[in-house]
Amino acid sequence: MRARQRGSAAVRAAAAGWPGRRRRLADADLSRADRILRTVLLVGTAVPALVLLFITAEMVLSALPALIYAGGDFFTHQLFTFGNLYATGQSVAHGVRAPLGASYGAAPFIIGTIASSAVALVIAVPVSVGAVLALVELVPRPVQPALSVFLELLAGIPSVAYGFWGVLYFGPAMAQHLYPVLTRLGVVLPFMRGPVGAGEGLLTTGFILAVMIIPIIASTTRELVRTVPALAREGALALGMTRYETLRAVTLPYIRSGILAASILGWARAIGETMAVLMISGDLLNTLPANIYSPFSSIAATIVDLLDSALTDPTGMAVHALAAIGVVLLVISLASNLVGRLLIRRVALGALPVGRGI
């Protein structure tokens, strides 16, 4: 008898259609086992959110002492040094003590991070969109999955393998063949002037980062292109438009904001990329890049690079300083992810990849 009642209520609830209402009605009918299951599942669901809060809180707390010590200089100064870790005296600023001569100016890292990922974005967006259009429009349907494998491969190849390739093959080749040619653009764009260096620097890193984020932008764009109503496109073609004009008039306007969202997500991935940047950037500290070929260092690469030596600081301030630049990275990442996700949600595509193109 009881079971039948439960069933009928659930049916009534299901008939109501709208999920929220259905759930609230069905709630009363959950058996004891169901409630236990729901609680266990809720605990699991809370894990990612709690981990997110924990990591953010831990970073901010860990960063505070160094941020107080550096004050406004943190964003403007170029000198990032842990100071003399063996000196007897200490530097004191804003009531916080650090090793003698310690200075936590993060400007070169912040600029290097943003510049390299901006270069990556400038290259990756047109290439991704163009490649997807070619894949969908030009490649015969049976061959498409075979070519899509390359997107999955690019997404899956580890960043250290990108670094290996970039530092041993790609960088030197570019510095030898392509960059000398690019310096001719220096007439119009001053930052393109030489010297071109040995191939470890902003532009090489930008290229590699571009390849790494292409899968994200491309796989999202591929899903978007498939959502374009066929009728509208066929109508445009029937009016005598060329395929290019159809694209401009119908397809692109339809998917534009989705591409923007995917680009923001790709950018967020590029600024957080660590190992490839560490291997290819040339790892130049305390100096702003002189041109687009010059070595630099990013926030993520610096954290990996300096954490070892930061641990030897007896005041512990060096570790806080790395957390401070980490917080900058975290804030930029989270902000751009949030914006990208809200945009994607507006385009209403539930099944899009969460952040990497796989």
Write the binding mask 251 to 270 for another protein: x where contact by CB under 8 A, - elsewhere.
--------------x--x--
**Binding to another protein in span 205-234, by CB under 8 A:** 211, 214, 218
CA dist 154 → 143, 148, 307, 308, 348 (Å) = 18, 10, 29, 31, 26
Among 274, 281, 291, 297, the residue binding another protein under the rule CB under 8 A is 274
Minimum distance from CB of 190 to another protein (Å)?
27
Structure tokens at 65: 């002492």
Minimum distance from CB of 229 to another protein (Å)?
21
Confirm if 202 and 112 have CB atoms less than 8 A apart.
Answer: yes
Among 193, 243, 260, 290, the residue binding another protein under the rule CB under 8 A is 243
Structure tokens at 344: 């994607």
Q: What is the spatial distance between Cα 151 and Cα 265, in angstroms, rounded to a whole number?
A: 16
CA dist 64 → 15, 60, 80, 96, 288 (Å) = 54, 6, 16, 10, 25
Which of these ranges, 72-80, 94-102, 180-188, 297-305, lies near another protein under the rule CB under 8 A?
Answer: 297-305
Confirm if 128 and 148 have CB atoms less than 8 A apart.
Answer: no
Minimum distance from CB of 88 to another protein (Å)?
26
Among 114, 249, 275, 290, the residue binding another protein under the rule CB under 8 A is 275
- If one asks whether residue 144 binds another protein (CB under 8 A), the answer comes out as no
Minimum distance from CB of 89 to another protein (Å)?
27
Confirm if 155 and 215 have CB atoms less than 8 A apart.
Answer: yes
**If binding means CB under 8 A, how many residues of this protein chain bind another protein?**
110
Among 167, 250, 317, 318, the residue binding another protein under the rule CB under 8 A is 167
Among 261, 279, 306, 347, the residue binding another protein under the rule CB under 8 A is 279
**Binding to another protein in span 62-81, by CB under 8 A:** 62
What single string gives the DSSP state of each residue in 324-341? HHHHHHHHHHHHHHHHHH
